[in-house]
Every structure is written in C-alpha cells, then in structure tokens.
Amino acid sequence: MAAASAAGAGSRPGDVALAHPPKDGVTAVAFAPKDGSDGLLVSSWDSTLSLHTGSTGARLVSHAHAAPVLDCCWQTHTAALTASLDRGVRVVDFGSATSTATVLGYHGAGVRCVRWSQSHSCAVSAGWDGTVRVWDPRASKQVAELGLPSKAFGMDVCVDGVSSGAADAVVVACEGRRLVTLDLRDTSSAAEDREAALKHQLRCVAAMPGKPAGAAAWGNSGAPGVAIGSIEGRVSLEHLSPAVTGAASATPGFAFKCHRRDAGGDAGPVAHPVNAIAFNRRHGTFATGGGDGTVVLWDGGAKKRLGKPSAAFPTSVSALAFSHDSSLLAVAVSYAFEAGDIEHPPDAVVVRRLDDADIRPRAKKASA
C-alpha cells in the first residue's frame, strides 16, 4: 500500500505517497478526466511516463521514452499525450496489455507543453522552437503551426473560451512575458498577442474551468481567463480580451504575491518561482505550488487565500493536479532546478485528500 512516510515533512495524515515515483524530476501530473477515476499520470526527467492509482499509490504502467518527458496530459481515459525533450509529441496508449507510443510529429526543439482539446479533437503542443502546433491523432499528423514571438514556457486550453463558448482558446506564455491566445477554429494567426501583467519570466499557465463546472464559472470571476505564475513569486489572473471571448467589455484582472518566504537572518524575504497552478472543477478555486515547497489554495473571485499555506514539503512543488471530482490533489514534490544543480531530496508525488471546506470559495466581502 502507501509508503508509510509520505514524503516526510509537509505531509498530513491520510496523504498517500506513490510507491514507485519516477527516479528523476517530475515535470507534470494529471488525473484522468473521468469522475470516479483516480488514474494519475506522471511524466518525468527520467524519460518515463507512468500511470498510478492515486488512492493507493500503486503503479500500474510505466512507459519509457528516449528522452525526458516535459509534459503530459490525458487524451481519452486510456491514452495520454506526451511532450519530450527529443522534440517529439506522442500518444501513449494504455488500453492494451503493453503500452504503445505513436509519434505524432516533431518540433524544432524541445516540446515544453502538450494539451488536448476535446471539442476540437486535436492535440496542441508548444515548444522551445517558438511554435505552437496542432495535431490530429487519428491521422498522426500535424494540422497547423503558428509561430510565437519567442520560446514557449507554459500553455493551457481555455475550454469554451472563445466567442461565448463556440470554441476553445489556447493560451501560451512565452519568453519575454508575452501571452499569445489562439482560437482553435482559426489557427492561421494568433487571436491575441500581448504582454502579461507580470514583470518577470512567466512560468506556468492554467486555464479557468468553464461553465460546465457547476456554479464555479471561470474560476469564480465571471469571464474566461487564465492564471499565470512567474519566477517572482507572483500570480496574475488575466482574462481573455473581449475580442476573443465575444463579451461586451473587458474584465479587469489582478495579480498577487505568493510563495515568498523569509530566508531567516537579516537577508529579508526571498521570492520563489511559482512552478504550478491547477484549478478544480467543482468550485473554480485554484492551488499554486512553488519553489518554497508549499501548496496554497486561493479563491480568485473573492481574491482571498483559502486557509494557510501547506506545511512546506522537503523540496519544491513542481506540478499539481486536481482529480476530476476535485476530491484529490496530486502534489509533485520534486526539485525544479530553481537554484541550479544542487543536492536535493528524492523526487516524490503525494496525493492529498481534500475536504470540500478546503476548496470552497469564501463569500465576497460586501465592502472592499
């Protein structure tokens, strides 16, 4: 069953540590997009994509790649998409007895992010070659390619983000703090290309869950958008512009500081990179994970932190994922090289069970 010492420091009773975590840094974790399922994908610098059972921590399958896997996501509940340092985008199928991988194609350089769009039945990937590419897995070929202003550092798909729900929007965070939005109906040019509100390198992007997530429309803020984390311990919630969403007017976003700790002594506070952001579908609230090893829950609509930051894990939090029914949170406790190549605790993934009270939004105050 679960390892007794679930990642040591920072664990709460009831946390389940994966019994066979990857042997090198964890780049992404993702729960299966099916209610009741706790299948957890983990991609890693040890070149594997593995599938685990979130509730027990047991490992089901591990698929070896030729090079570190930088991102992964689910396509169907038995197949996954992977983005690899060897420039390839692949579909890994777990349906049969042995897992098989099919290459969809290659970027010009390492692929940093990959996502699946259910409504458009296509995979989208973005890489360090400065392109975002759209793939059709049935034909195993590239369908579209768009040049970005610079290397991509983060990406997510804003389901139903375009034109009041007619299509999905892909938001890519690039070097140089640029945010590019792509309408999946027309990938010949970017729907929007602008500077993010953050002043330092963008690190991760998470799209607010859309209307289907019950009352929690758009991360409780009323308009489609994304949460963006930077290397500076700051997160900004930004909304897609009205030109993209078809809304009547722009919804203002805001930014807040997080993952900043006092390093002790008289050195003053230190800002850690925000490595991961994940929204839950049940309430539209979100979690952030940082280089300081903590996980913090936030309510974007009420602009409040939910509860206290978690007790710090032994090393950075490199990836986060909520389960489909929002009852579990997978936390990848894995040094993300924020301070260069140094000794670090072993990489682990911890699955934490959440109470509804942990992620329920707080009521907005009547007066600001």
Partner 1 sequence: MGRKGRGGSAKAKLPSICFYCMREFQDETTLVAHQQARHFRCVECNRKLRTLSAMRHHLDGVHKVQLKRVPNAKEGHDDPNINCVGMDGAPAWFMHQLMAEHGDPAAKEALAAVAGAGAAAAAGVPVGVAVVDPVAAAVPGAAGAAPGAAALAPPGPGAAAAAPGGAPAGLPGAHGGMPVEVATAAAVAGPSGIRFVFTDEAMSPEEKRAMLPRYAKAGIAVRRDGLTA
Beta bridge partners of 130: none
With beta carbons less than 8 A apart as the criterion, state whether 168 and 178 touch: no
Query: Which CB atom, from 272 or from 283, has the smaller least distance to partner 1?
Result: 272
CA distance 81 to 131: 18
Match 């090198």 to its residue by tokens. Answer: 24
Contact pattern for partner 1 over residues 166 through 185, marking x by CB under 8 A: ---------xxx-x------
**Distance in Å, CB of 201 to partner 1, minimum:** 5
How many positions of this chain bind partner 1 (CB under 8 A)?
A: 63
With beta carbons less than 8 A apart as the criterion, state whether 352 and 15 touch: yes
112 makes contact with partner 1 (CB under 8 A): yes
Q: Which stretch binds partner 1 (CB under 8 A): 93-101, 104-112, 163-171, 325-333?
A: 104-112
Say which residues have a Cβ less than 8 Å from residue 40's Cβ, sequence separation at least 6.
18, 29, 30, 31, 32, 51, 52, 53, 54, 321, 330, 349, 351
Query: Which CB atom, from 220 or from 323, has the smaller least distance to partner 1?
Result: 220
CB atoms within 10 A of CB 136: 15
Segment 23-62, which members bind partner 1 (CB under 8 A)?
25, 27, 45
Helix (H) or strand (E) holding 17: strand 16-17
Contact pattern for partner 1 over residues 144 through 163, marking x by CB under 8 A: -------x-x----------
337 makes contact with partner 1 (CB under 8 A): yes
Segment 1-20, which members bind partner 1 (CB under 8 A)?
none
CA distance 289 to 273: 9
Segment 297-336, which members bind partner 1 (CB under 8 A)?
303, 336
**Distance in Å, CB of 243 to partner 1, minimum:** 10
**Distance in Å, CB of 348 to partner 1, minimum:** 18
Q: Output the DSSP codes for 70-110.
A: EEEEEEETTEEEEEETTSEEEEEE-SSSS-EEEEEEE-SS-
- Residue from 255, 302, 312, 354 in contact with partner 1 (CB under 8 A): 255
Q: Which stretch binds partner 1 (CB under 8 A): 8-16, 117-125, 205-213, 338-346?
A: 338-346
With beta carbons less than 8 A apart as the criterion, state whether 349 and 29 touch: yes
CA distance 229 to 137: 30
115 makes contact with partner 1 (CB under 8 A): no
First CA to last CA distance, the chain: 48
231 makes contact with partner 1 (CB under 8 A): yes
- Residue from 254, 356, 363, 364 in contact with partner 1 (CB under 8 A): 254
- Burial code (b: 16+ CB inside 10 Å, e: under 16) for 282-292 equals bbbbbbbbbbb
198 makes contact with partner 1 (CB under 8 A): yes
- Residue from 59, 77, 87, 344 in contact with partner 1 (CB under 8 A): 87
Query: Which CB atom, from 35 or from 254, has the smaller least distance to partner 1?
Result: 254
268 makes contact with partner 1 (CB under 8 A): yes
- Residue from 103, 166, 311, 339 in contact with partner 1 (CB under 8 A): 339
**Distance in Å, CB of 77 to partner 1, minimum:** 28
Can you give the length of the chain in residues?
A: 368
Q: Is the dihedral of CA 310, 315, 317, 319 positive or negative?
A: negative
Instruction: Return the amino acid letter for 2.
Output: A
Contact residues toward partner 1 (CB under 8 A) are 25, 27, 45, 66-68, 70, 85-87, 108-110, 112, 128-130, 151, 153, 175-177, 179, 194-201, 203, 231-233, 236, 238, 241, 250, 252-257, 260, 263, 267-273, 291, 303, 336-341, 368
